[in-house]
């Protein structure tokens, strides 16, 4: 007998037609799956009542184990047990700076990241998909039915490549992705912040090994990411480490084997967790040499010990606030995400910093998955259409390369998606028949400072004078944040398009820092753009004047006049070799002025030529 769930008024589905939709938090350390039951988002548990599934996959010769079942192999068979695969998503082999620091072997022959396991080469997408398969299975067993769709969360700073990789992994796992949404957005949705009219919220996410802070602005049901910041290697694990170090120093233990080190960390972790509830905690550690250490720690010393770590999270908040040009007073709410935020001194420190009560009554490990479940429930059509569909925004701007190595932005960052924008471009040289479209992502003005996503060529442009051809370039981002670009020559309607299968190769740190740099270097970028534009203008006028001189110079100008113009060209040419924007602009002006009369004469002559031999009534004026 099926067990029934309560529907919203008038929203009862027909029997056998329940749409089971889940939200998935695919985390670096742990993953969760959640759904909405009787209007209430709940975390789905596996057979052993676990809600947090470790993001670990073990590839044995004849078996694949995921989650808790894979845990024992971390020590037994580290080479075939993959952890934190999320850090590899959407990256290439060359992104791994220190392959020797990992217990696994990478395939050097491939540009992609491929890990050698006893089941052969494994791509991060495959490994992620094995985690997703496990989550899908938990959901299907728990809900007694097939899953129609899933909403999967990704960090706000994930770029196109990383989002695409996540989507590919879901496809491989047989999941229908309803949408990818940003983790901070999901956390805000879990607290029902999307039901408010508007507001500015800070999402403080301190996980096991990463720290992210995001500032979201809600307006008309749309969350906009105003700023993100963080620390790629700061999390609850560092607090464990600090306690472990302290135990070592206090007891003067120098040499520890691998097993002892792990045992020490485990004890440190349990001390940390006890101190969240209790004022003091005690533990007995048995070392492999038979020695027993009894160690107790009180809250006060724990807080002192880890004060610096807590402070380390404040700096990124300040930076995010200044990026978003916001003061502490303008923040309407602070959402706490990640298990590490349970620590009392983090709670009090953040509360003091913002001078505001925190949103922390949901389980911080589950918040993101619960929000994703709510979103999945709405997207699967289980709720009425009146409920606002939450939209996301693009994290970085997208554009194309133009002359002089500059980036012309077509879709600006924080545009709500899905979105399509078009812009017209033209040819630079006479008779140009092809145009290369270089798609870039980033906030900076110069191509070399942005990330190259794709490159394609529009051919068969009919030969015309420079500037006459019209090429419309359209950028389109679908609801998952994936990009397609097309270019169309408007007189022939010849079109070329590309779906960006991005050339993987940018680390998370780089993306976060790209955004930061764009703010810090805004001034510098502006100057570079001005210089580049001045140079292009200078070059173009030289070409034009030289062409005219070669053609009609002798006829229309005296030798002295030609000499003066040629000198001006030389002056401009040499200033083009420098980076002196003002000089280039000045010399361009000079040349323009000098050739004004020459240009007028040229004009007269061409009019004369056009009229020559025609009776006056045949001329269309």
Partner 1 sequence: MAISLTPKAAERLEKYLKNRGKGVGLRLGVKTTGCSGMAYTLEFVDDTLPEDQIFESHGIKIMVDPKSLVYIDGTELDFEKEGLNEGFKFNNPNVKAECGCGESFTV
Binding positions for partner 1, rule: CB under 8 A: 1-12, 14-16, 37-40, 44-47, 141-144
- Pair 326, 215: CB distance under 8 Å: yes
Q: Cα–Cα distances in Å, from 600 out to 548, 549, 552, 586?
A: 12, 13, 12, 21
Least CB distance to partner 1 at residue 377 (A): 13
The single residue of 46, 65, 86, 217 carrying the catalytic annotation is: 86
How far apart, in whole angstroms, are the C-alpha atoms of residue 281 and residue 279?
A: 7
Based on CB atoms, which residue is closest to partner 1, 133 or 438?
133
108 is annotated as an active-site residue: no
- Apex CA 422: angle with CA 420 and CA 427, to 5°? 155
Is 126 noted as a catalytic residue in this protein? no
Looking at the Cβ atoms of 45 and 521, the one nearer to partner 1 is 45
Using CA atoms in the order 531, 534, 535, 537, what is the torsion angle rounded to 10 degrees?
160
**Which one, 197 or 559, has the nearer CB to partner 1?**
197
Contact 414, 453 (CB under 8 A): no
- Distance of closest approach, residue 127 Cβ to partner 1, in angstroms: 26
Q: What's the rounded Cα separation, in Å, for the pair 57 and 127?
A: 7
Kindly state the smallest distance separating residue 73's Cβ from partner 1, in Å.
25
Strand pairing report for 416-417 and 40-43: unpaired
DSSP-derived 3-state class of residue 34: strand
Give the span between the Cα atoms of 561 and 74, in whole angstroms. Answer: 83
Question: 151 is written with which tokens?
Answer: 């909403």
CB of 316 to partner 1, least distance (A): 34
To the nearest 10 degrees (0 to 180), the angle between helices 581-594 and 559-576 is: 160
Q: Which of 159, 183, 443, 480 is catalytic?
A: 183
Q: Are 479 and 417 in contact (CB under 8 A)?
A: yes
- Token pair listed for 274: 């006890």
Least CB distance to partner 1 at residue 371 (A): 15
The residue from 69, 126, 194, 205 that is catalytic is 205
Q: Which residues pair with 1 in a beta bridge?
A: none
E strands present in 105-166: 105-106, 115-117, 120-122, 147-154
Min dist CB 48 to partner 1, Å, is 11
Among 458, 465, 463, 462, which Cα is nearest to 492's?
A: 462
**551 included as an active-site residue:** no
Nearest-approach distance from CB 382 to partner 1, in angstroms: 13
Q: Among residues 521, 222, 200, 437, which one has the least CA distance to residue 334?
A: 200
- Known catalytic residue at 205: yes
Distance CA 186, CA 501 (A): 26
Closest-CA residue to 280 (of 297, 255, 260): 297
Closest distance to partner 1 from the beta carbon of 148 (Å)? 17
Q: What is the set of active-site residues?
A: 25, 86, 183, 205
């Amino acid at each position: 007998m099926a067990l029934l769930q309560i529907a919203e008024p008038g929203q009862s589905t027909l029997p056998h037609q329940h749409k089971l939709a889940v939200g998935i938090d695919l985390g670096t350390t742990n993953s969760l799956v959640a759904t909405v039951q009787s209007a209430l988002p709940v975390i789905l548990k596996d057979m052993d009542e676990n809600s947090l599934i470790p993001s670990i996959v073990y590839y044995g010769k004849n078996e694949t184990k995921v989650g808790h079942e894979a845990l024992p192999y971390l020590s037994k068979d580290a080479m075939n047990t993959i952890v934190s695969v999320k850090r590899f998503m959407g990256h290439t082999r060359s992104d791994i700076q220190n392959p020797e620091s990992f217990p696994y072997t990478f395939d050097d022959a491939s540009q992609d990241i491929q890990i050698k396991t006893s089941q052969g080469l494994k791509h991060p997408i495959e490994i992620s998909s094995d985690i997703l398969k496990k989550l899908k299975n938990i959901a299907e067993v728990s809900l007694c039915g097939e899953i129609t769709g899933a909403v999967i969360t990704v960090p706000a700073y994930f770029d196109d490549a990383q989002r695409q990789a996540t989507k590919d992994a879901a496809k491989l796992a047989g999941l229908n992705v309803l949408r990818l949404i940003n983790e901070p957005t999901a956390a805000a949705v879990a607290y029902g912040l999307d039901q408010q009219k508007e507001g500015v919220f800070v999402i403080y996410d301190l996980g096991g090994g990463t720290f992210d802070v995001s500032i979201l602005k809600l307006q008309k049901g749309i969350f906009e990411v105003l700023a993100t910041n963080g620390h790629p290697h700061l999390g609850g694990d560092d607090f464990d480490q600090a306690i472990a170090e302290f135990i070592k120093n206090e007891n003067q233990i120098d040499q520890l084997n691998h097993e002892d080190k792990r045992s020490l960390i485990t004890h440190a972790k349990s001390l940390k967790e006890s101190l969240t509830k209790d004022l003091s905690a005690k533990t007995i550690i048995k070392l492999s040499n038979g020695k027993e250490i009894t160690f107790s720690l009180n809250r006060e010393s724990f807080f002192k010990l880890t004060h610096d770590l807590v402070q380390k999270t404040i700096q990124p908040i300040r930076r995010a606030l200044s990026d978003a040009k916001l003061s502490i007073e303008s923040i309407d709410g602070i959402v706490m995400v990640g298990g590490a935020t349970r620590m009392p001194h983090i709670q009090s420190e953040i509360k003091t910093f913002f001078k505001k009560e925190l949103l922390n009554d949901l389980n911080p490990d589950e918040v993101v998955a619960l929000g994703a479940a709510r979103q999945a429930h709405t997207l699967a059509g289980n709720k009425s259409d009146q409920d606002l569909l939450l939209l996301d925004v693009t994290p970085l701007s997208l554009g194309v390369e133009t002359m002089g190595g500059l980036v012309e932005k077509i879709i600006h960052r924080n545009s709500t998606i899905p979105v399509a924008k078009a812009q017209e471009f033209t040819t630079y040289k006479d008779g140009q028949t092809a145009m290369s479209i270089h798609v870039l992502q980033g906030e900076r003005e110069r191509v070399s400072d942005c990330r190259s996503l794709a490159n394609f060529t529009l051919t068969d442009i009919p030969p015309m004078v420079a500037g006459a051809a019209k090429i419309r370039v359209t950028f389109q981002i679908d609801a998952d944040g994936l990009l397609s670009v097309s270019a169309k020559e408007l007189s022939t309607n010849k079109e070329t398009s590309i779906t960006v299968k991005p050339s993987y190769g940018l680390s998370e740190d780089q993306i976060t820092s790209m955004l930061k740099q764009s703010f810090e270097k805004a001034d510098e970028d502006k100057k570079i753009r001005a210089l580049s534009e001045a140079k292009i203008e200078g070059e173009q006028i030289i070409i034009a004047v030289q062409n005219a001189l070669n053609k009609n110079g002798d006829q229309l100008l005296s030798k002295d006049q030609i000499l003066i113009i040629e000198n001006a060209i030389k002056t401009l040419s040499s200033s083009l070799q420098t980076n002196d924007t003002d000089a280039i602009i000045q010399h361009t002006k000079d040349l323009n002025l000098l050739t004004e009369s020459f240009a007028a004469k040229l004009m007269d002559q061409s009019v004369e030529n056009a009229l020559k031999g025609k009776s006056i009534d045949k001329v269309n004026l």
